[in-house]
Amino acid sequence: MTTNKVVLLLSGGFDSSIAGYLLQKKSFEIIPLHFSNTDFAGEESIEKSLLISEKFNWKKMYVIDIADALQTLVDDCKHSYYFVLMKRLMLKLGCEIADLEKAEYIGTGESLGQVSSQTLANISVIEQATRYRVLKPLITFDKEKIIFLTREIKTFDISAGPEVCDLLGPKHPITNANLENILKEEQNLDYGKIISESMGKLDIKLT
């Protein structure tokens, strides 16, 4: 069976680790990419992601600290759009790693309707930020099934703990994003500079 490369957006939490596990079972080669925010969240999410990568024999993990980029989203765009803009930024950076790795796909742990950024409208707008096809093996899973799987493959203890991706997020995020409005917000951003500076913080961790 042909092995295709997938850049997996790996948070260290439950969802993305299961997504990577399921994609690997289908003979995809996993290239984990972790977005850190050490200014607010410290090193814990990096350590979790490294443990997951080691468990599944993913030989290296890309890490990009996006603390400054996330603060720019807060400062320069409507706060209610933060989560959608954040996920679009992550996909754009995922494209950069996919280019480096000559990967065919980007993989995420998204499941439909669990949180505000995962409504059908928001997922559609987020996905249009990438030049690559996005694989979402958990799209129809509920949280109970995901947690069950983490216990079955023994990643629950690694991934357990508070989520830190919401630290800069709004109390009332938009749930029905419109692409035209999101693109208008992104006009406030110097994306060339954001991508360049973020990639300048790229680190590669060997597992």
For 5-50, the pLDDT digits (tens) are 999 999 999 999 999 999 999 999 999 999 999 877 778 999 999 9
Residues 81-125 have pLDDT tens digits of: 999 999 999 999 999 999 999 999 999 999 987 566 789 999 999
Q: Report the alpha-carbon distance of residue 112 to residue 132 in Å, rounded.
A: 20
Predicted confidence (pLDDT) at residue 1 exceeds the cutoff of 60: no
Per-residue model confidence (pLDDT) at position 193: 97
Per-residue model confidence (pLDDT) at position 161: 75
Per-residue model confidence (pLDDT) at position 73: 96
Query: Do 192 and 45 touch, CB atoms closer than 8 A?
Result: no
Confidence band, pLDDT 50/70/90 cuts, at residue 166? low
Task: Give the DSSP letter string of 41-62.
Answer: HTTHHHHHHHHHHHHTT--EEE
- Count Cβ atoms below 10 Å from residue 1 Cβ, excluding itself: 6
What Å distances lie between residue 60 and 28, 51, 68, 128, 159, CA to CA? Answer: 15, 11, 24, 27, 19
Q: Report the alpha-carbon distance of residue 44 to residue 81 in Å, rounded.
A: 26
Fold of 5-206: Rossmann fold (3.40.50)
Look up residue 36 and give its two tokens: 């850190």
Query: Do 40 and 164 touch, CB atoms closer than 8 A?
Result: yes
Q: Which residues pair with 204 in a beta bridge?
A: 62
Average pLDDT for the chain:
93
- Residue 65: what residue type? D
Look up residue 188 and give its two tokens: 């406030």
Look up residue 47 and give its two tokens: 């350590």
Per-residue model confidence (pLDDT) at position 163: 64
Domain map (residue ranges) of the chain: 5-206
**pLDDT > 90 in the chain, percent:** 84
β pairing state of 133-135 and 29-36: unpaired
pTM of the shown model: 0.94
